[in-house]
Structure 1
Amino acid sequence: MAPSTKRPDPHAQILFPPMALASCVAFAIVRDTRGLMLSGADRLNYFPASPLITLTVVLNGQIHMSNALCDLQTLSESDPLPRVFVSPPQPGPIVSWSPGAVRAVTIGFFPNAWRKLGGALNKTDLPRAIGAAADAVHSAEDLYAGWTSFCRLLTEVWKEAKTDVSLPQWRGGARLTDWVRHVVLQSAMSGPGRSARAIERRLKRWTGHSRQSLEFFAQVDHLHGLVHQAKNQTAAEIAYDGAYSDQAHMGRAVKRATGFSPVKLNKLIETEEAFWCYRLLGERF
């Protein structure tokens, strides 16, 4: 995942929640292609695998989505998604497409927080507790005013939903590596049983993921940060710093998360409009 050398893109922005929501919401990404002259291929949107549950609000245009990488024709023949929709965690890369200009915001929730808000980990139902917050985004003429209202309303709900217990306290953050470390440590220090099996059950119940899957996401996220900050390091050096056994091991992980080899992915991020999300996510580091 190559670091971006381009200037910030006003048509793709990342938003971070206030501190009061940082343990609930990782970040939000905004895509606004109004006024852009884009080809059909440029209107594709590639996203990596992610442990987050996402809430997407479409303010203008349509979004067609596939839960696996596919071609433009397949996407164009699919049905558009609703104006407000929830996506479960994605074990592999996904792609979406809009037939014209689109303006949308996608908000990433940590699975354990989503569960505390009344959401199901593997379903696409919107929890009643955050319905008003989602409506605030959808009804606002100005997206950023809608985001502010969303955060204000969700903060009140989150105060009631989260529990204040004597467990490792985490202030939140946009880096998935930090969240994985927190939730694994929390699972090891709470509830009956300290065996590996008991910890695994708690992790699965809280996040919908196994410890192995969580560690995969954390390692790939850490790699993204390393690559974004790398200057003159070789691929072998980056693999070592990322705790991969070798360069080939790193390559397999990147392909599993993105669908592409590191070399091809780096080229696509640097040259293709459709990989704007990869460039945007680098701003977390």
Structure 2
Amino acid sequence: MASPSTNTIAFDPALWPSGTLWQPRASLSACVRASMVRNTLGADHTDAQRVNHFPASPMCSLSWWFSGSSQCLNSPPAVAAEGVFGETMPMPGRWVLCGPQTRPVSTWCPGPVHSMMVLVMPDALHALTGLQVSDLIDQFFDASTILPPDWLPMLQQVQDAPDDAQRLQALEEFLEPRWQRYRPSQPLVQQRYSDWVAHLALRAAVSAPGRSLRQLERRIKQWSGLPLRELRVMGRSEEAFLMTAALATQTTAKLDWAQIAVDTGYSDQSHLIRTTRRITGFTPDALGKGIQQQESFWAYRLWM
């Protein structure tokens, strides 16, 4: 059964609780990265507070809305953070499958919402469904029309379950027997992007004849939808984010971005800033202030 973990970091007390981050059972650790539950029922948020910011990510996601709804924003994240939305696009269905995102995404909820987003490893999704992950990149799909037909009863069962714990249990009991035939014999101890990328590269090297760099990269892109170089960029970006979060809990002094850049594999501070802006839509400093003070950065707080 999945287990929840919650924040221990102190933020602006006026912020709504970020939600719950559920970790999968051990046997599904190479299939499901985590599940994020957000419930703002009862909150009286402004339009700007109902924005949701998400970074670029190599993960796929499967989402349910138990109450309320969400729309995609075409505005850049920094603009959306100021409450300027521009054009919005409704989600394509009640249940949504999202492919890997090569750029940050901002969404908006017209009102209070209770939702769940399950982050699925792209190679696991490919193995379980036969979907070509490269066809899903930067797109949202109606999950009921793109997933195999035998997934549909599970989607409905999760929707109808009386609470979040039973929803996660229904999902895991569906995935468990299907994943048995595909899961690696030596599952990951860590589930950071960089660990998964290294594991993926090792699998590519030993999975089939032909070990040239081009053949390895072709296998990795088939499984994940993204080239190895891009996956490593996202892994390094997550490492910098988690290090920054850890340092922020230990000191009130101004963070040394140059040292953080060196410690996480960037060539210099400018390299860190450029990559952070590309992955999140914000500079490191703006991202840090948003996480501490703005409702719309709840997903980042939850991940910390």
User: Once the two structures are aligned, what percentage of the paired residues are identical?
Assistant: 30
Residues 115 and 208 of structure 1, relative CA distance in 2, 3 Å threshold: same
CA RMSD of aligned residues (A): 2.2
Q: Which moved more, 1:133-142 or 1:191-200?
A: 133-142
Aligned to 1:65: 72
Q: How does 1:134-153 map to 2 (within 5 A)?
A: 134-153=155-174
Output the TM-score relative to the length of structure 2. 0.84
Q: Say if 2:75 and 2:87, in contact at 8 Å, map to a contact too.
A: no
SS at match of 1:117: helix
2:235 aligned with 1:218: yes
- Counterpart secondary structure, 2:35: strand
Are the equivalent residues in 1 in contact too, given 2:103–2:278 (CA < 8 A)? yes
Which residue does 1:24 correspond to in 2? 31
Residue-by-residue CA offset, 1:38-91 (whole Å, 9 max, x unaligned):
001000000000000100011111110147636456467433442101011000
Matched-pair contact (CA < 8 Å) for 1:42–1:273: yes
Q: TM-score, normalised by structure 1?
A: 0.89
In the alignment, structure 1 segments of 5+ residues that lack a partner are none
Is the contact between residue 240 and residue 264 of structure 2 (CA under 8 Å) also seen in structure 1?
yes
Please state whether the residue corresponding to 1:244 is helix, strand or coil.
coil
In the alignment, does 2:239 pair up with 1:237?
A: no
Looking at structure 1, the residues matched to 18 and 283 of structure 2 have their Cα atoms a distance apart, in angstroms, of 27
Distance in 2 of aligned mates of 1:68 and 1:116: 34
C-alpha deviation, 1:130, in angstroms? 3.4
* In 1: Cα distance, 2:189 partner to 2:59 partner: 14
**C-alpha distance after superposition, 1:133-190 (max 9, x if no partner):** 3222111121221111111121122124x1667xxx2236432121111001111222
The 10-residue stretch of structure 1 (11-20 or 227-236) with the greater mean CA deviation from structure 2:
227-236
Would you say 1:253 and 2:275 are equivalent positions?
yes
- Pick which of 202-211 and 77-86 moved more: 77-86
Is the CA contact (8 Å cut-off) linking 1:26 and 1:172 kept in structure 2?
no
2:180 partner SS? helix
Distance, in Å, in 1 between the alignment partners of 2:50 and 2:21 is: 18
Q: How far off is 1:194 after superposition?
A: 1.3
Aligned length, in residue pairs: 276
Q: What is the letter of the counterpart of residue 265 of structure 1?
A: L
For residue 54 of structure 1, give the secondary structure of its aligned residue in structure 2: strand
Which amino acid in the other structure matches residue 97 of structure 1? W
Unaligned runs of 5+ in 2: 1-7
CA contact (8 A) 1:62 1:81 kept: no
Partners of 1:49 and 1:236 in 2: CA distance: 23
